[in-house]
Chain A
């Protein structure tokens, strides 16, 4: 009887099943993806141009080498960003004028795509500090590094932080940390930045602290959310500063850096 009841219970719970099905996705239209980064730190514009690929197979994204890529400063003076092959376009020695806006444009297959991004003056951070924490949720005890900086009062600021621990950079878009000053404008900000595991004695932690445009802050946040899981409230592409339906982003940013050894 006991066995019978158990089996009965299992019948009900095990009635659910999974199977692989054919879903006919409309993969005909390949869309352009443009990833533009202009770093004030090394005066270099780096642009990657690719196309979307089939959702189901693992072929690498097709790259585009025959696009015309141009960066234009606030005075309307265009400079061509030459192709470096493999979908990459690089322009070095392009000195930044912080606080002004740049426009990146890409002409490909008869269509023109452009994105404007303001390049904020980099906010300098103070030396990184750290703090010891007991483990929680079963995690091992260790150290967490703390970002310290004075948020400028006169501007609305947005930041990206790329953490490097012992030479490993957490620079994937869903690993990049973000910070804004919506509720903390003009404050002195001290924020612990957690990695998956707490750091140990002797570890080297470095921050690349980027001051970015609002559009980039939003994009990072949304792209990380989408990359992190499929169960989104509103499935959609992250909102980009590109026009004309291009995917990706154009980020012109200022950088400040610091590094600390935990001891």
Chain B
């Protein structure tokens, strides 16, 4: 720690002797005043000198006295140059224009700029999308979905059909930190996974970190998916929306005070079940199957130095069958943020974040009915600073505290003969502190190094249990309110570096360690909202992931093609699985049903991307393994994780046929998931049991699917634009396996394997409009 402080001090004093001045300000979108995140500010006269805007559009750049040309650039926008004579501190607030041509043809981004940011940027291994980038990619039911599109990029794999969960580089679905305006989202799926909770209309951009994860993020072992909501139009009122077969959506946005504050309100509702109301059968008419969600955000600028943001998400899924069965779940998040600028180099953001996920089952009604409830609730306080020290160094530091409340389950009945079962809630305080520096060394070498300290305090009131090797309860102890049951903590070093070989080539490398203190226990082969989150405890150690990654990036034909090749190796410790035959439902002693082991994952990812021209898109291929070793499973023999997909191919192509018509297609192929099937059967104690030979020793059939899309842009008017999107999901009606079960053939009495396919060919049509 002392060493670190000394290093920082030296860094700050070396430049104090020359005459330096700071240019600070903001970069915005000229059409709606939205802050641009990740816009580049380059100094034409100096190689490898520049700045990037932060999530709030702010930048700060300190240079020696002199004359410079600043080049402002952001993907999808016209570049602007500003000539300055720097002899005092300056403030530049700039708005970038969307190129005229792009505005006319709709969302297909054609950027004529020389773009080799992927080569020169020090941002490592981050995959970034805006809803605009993906607008024409065909998806299930015609509903644009940023999470599904991310699953078409290398190293990111969908958890399977009907599942919004995803796996990053061999990690589990619970190892991804999903943030919506800094609030963790515990279940990112709607309609049992067919939609993600992110409404594209309300989203500004999504960044996914697969490796080289910055020190400001912590709490999950595999990846960070940072979703930022739009701020709302600061210039004028706007409304946009879409009407589809399954769901419709509407967004309104407007300035609160022009150029000072704005709000956005965006809602969605699915109505597949409304068709069922027309059914001749009564029980079908009484079936509920829908979701709705609402995104809200408001921001206001108080003076030159301060801004506040308030954002929230509320979503709920309801699934019911008359009054026999009801199931509903949802997330609620709220974020209050305050930006403050100290001088022109120190940017501060304070956030208060609330996040809740809960689910509820109801079976029967009235006196005979009973219900099961479970939830996880967080209160989160976060303070982040960015200090733009000088032209070569920008430092980020901050701290965070999250109070978690886990309510693993409660069974309540309306009838006296029923014993209520209420599992003890568990409380924990998760803390983090970090410091990180991004440093430019010479003209070609960029490094980022930092460290995060994280700690997790499991607290009373409540009981803590102790178990022996076999999972038998040996001791229990009652703890008082806020009394520490167990404190886990650790250091998480983060490092990444990039070296520019030439204008068209660069290499990058990274190492990071991530600790994860809360764990999701999945109790079936598909992820479901009922998967329980459990805290680290006296029995459960934090998961530890160490990852090294290297990449080579090459641009061809004047940056028309980008080729990236990345390799990684990941070491996982303290992975969790259920003991054989675990009792998982409403069990206070669930920790005794767990076994612990290690894992490793490694892979090669290749992506060829075409950025310019009428035809754009990418082809990606991933060769990877993800393996686990548990002393208590298969006698310690290494076995493949469920997500061990050896080959994974995605092809995404978008073609601009004319000004009015854009065509798109995507094709995916991957090795079937690893699964445990019996290798035989036997009789014991009068019952017939399946005979299992090895965990995940079998495979689902390989998965493949082709989707087609076509968007027809109607003639645009000054205040109004609209289009019609047609899509076909699974165009060649491939019957991909959703589940494989073994059932008795009623005629022969023999056992047979039955494959269930969810979607064969699904056509969809969506009408989208935008009132400008």
Contacts and interface: CB of A to CB of B under 8 A. Distances in A.
Interface string A84-113: 000000000000000000000000000000
Contact of A6 (B278, B523, B524): B278
A234 B417 contact: no
Interface in B727-767: 735, 737-738, 740-742, 745, 749-762
Interface in A1-53: 2-3, 5-6, 8-10, 12-13, 15-23, 25-27, 29-31, 33, 35, 50-53
Interface residues of A, number: 71
A182 B476 CA distance: 10
B624 to A, nearest CB: 24
B680 A136 contact: no
A113 to B, nearest CB: 14
Contacts of A238: 580-581, 689
B524 A231 contact: yes
A133 B418 CA distance: 12
Interface string A170-193: 011110100000110000000000
A224 to B, nearest CB: 8
A15 B582 CA distance: 34
A13 B272 contact: yes
A249 interface: yes
Given A182-B473, A221-B583, A234-B580, A29 B679 contact: yes
B368 A56 contact: no
Contacts of A220: 685
A61 interface: yes
Nearest to A225: B581
Contact of B752 (A3, A10, A29, A56): A56
Contacts, number: 207
B272 A230 contact: no
B276 A9 contact: yes
Contacts of B583: 221, 225
Given A33-B682, A134-B417, A248-B684, A18 B750 contact: no
B580 A15 contact: no
B366 to A, nearest CB: 12
Contact of A26 (B278, B581, B679): B679
B209 to A, nearest CB: 30
B750 A58 contact: yes
Residue with the greatest number of chain B CB neighbours at <10 A, chosen from A30, A35, A138, A235: A235
Interface in B688-711: 688-693, 695, 697-698, 701
Contact of A19 (B579, B678, B754): B754
Residue with the greatest number of chain A CB neighbours at <10 A, chosen from B364, B472, B684, B757: B684
A221 B524 CA distance: 19
A173 B690 contact: no
22 contacts: A8-B275, A9-B272, A10-B275, A13-B272, A17-B735, A18-B756, A20-B752, A21-B755, A25-B677, A26-B697, A33-B682, A33-B683, A35-B684, A35-B685, A56-B750, A58-B751, A173-B684, A214-B472, A231-B525, A234-B580, A236-B633, A247-B684
Contacts of B582: 233-234
Nearest to B635: A245
Interface of B: 141, 245-246, 272, 274-276, 278-279, 364, 368, 415, 417-418, 470, 472-473, 521-525, 577-584, 633, 676-693, 695, 697-698, 701, 735, 737-738, 740-742, 745, 749-762
B682 A50 contact: yes
A146 interface: no
A182 B472 CA distance: 8
B368 A138 contact: yes
Given A55-B679, A234-B577, A2 B684 contact: no
Given A5-B278, A31-B691, A50 B581 contact: no
Nearest to A52: B680
B755 A18 contact: yes
Contact of A20 (B272, B275, B701, B754): B754
Given A222-B581, A234-B633, 15 more contacts: A17-B757, A20-B753, A55-B678, A55-B691, A55-B751, A137-B364, A173-B684, A223-B581, A225-B583, A227-B689, A230-B741, A233-B522, A233-B584, A238-B581, A247-B691
A33 B697 CA distance: 21
Nearest to A139: B368
A19 B418 CA distance: 41
A54 B680 contact: yes
Contact of B679 (A17, A25, A171, A172): A25
B321 to A, nearest CB: 14
Contacts of B689: 223, 226-227, 237-238
Contact of B676 (A20, A223, A236): A236
B349 to A, nearest CB: 41
Nearest to A16: B758
Nearest to B752: A20
Contact of A9 (B275, B687, B741): B275
Given A6-B275, A12-B245, A15-B762, A22 B682 contact: no
Contacts of A12: 141, 245-246, 272, 275, 762
A248 B687 CA distance: 11
A236 B581 contact: yes
A158 B639 CA distance: 33
B753 A183 contact: no
Residue with the greatest number of chain B CB neighbours at <10 A, chosen from A9, A19, A20, A173: A9
A75 interface: no
A57 interface: yes
A16 B759 contact: yes
A222 B471 CA distance: 13
B309 to A, nearest CB: 38
Nearest to A221: B581
Contacts of B681: 52-55
Contact of B687 (A19, A31, A223, A249): A223
B417 A136 contact: yes
Nearest to A57: B750
A164 B676 CA distance: 36
A236 B682 contact: no
Contacts of A165: none
A173 B687 CA distance: 6
A54 B470 CA distance: 31
Contact of B682 (A10, A53, A214, A235): A53
B279 A233 contact: no
Contact of A5 (B275, B521, B754): B275
Contacts of B523: 233
A232 interface: yes
A208 interface: no
A200 interface: no
A73 interface: no
B753 to A, nearest CB: 4
Interface string A235-263: 11111000000011100000000000000
B683 A18 contact: no
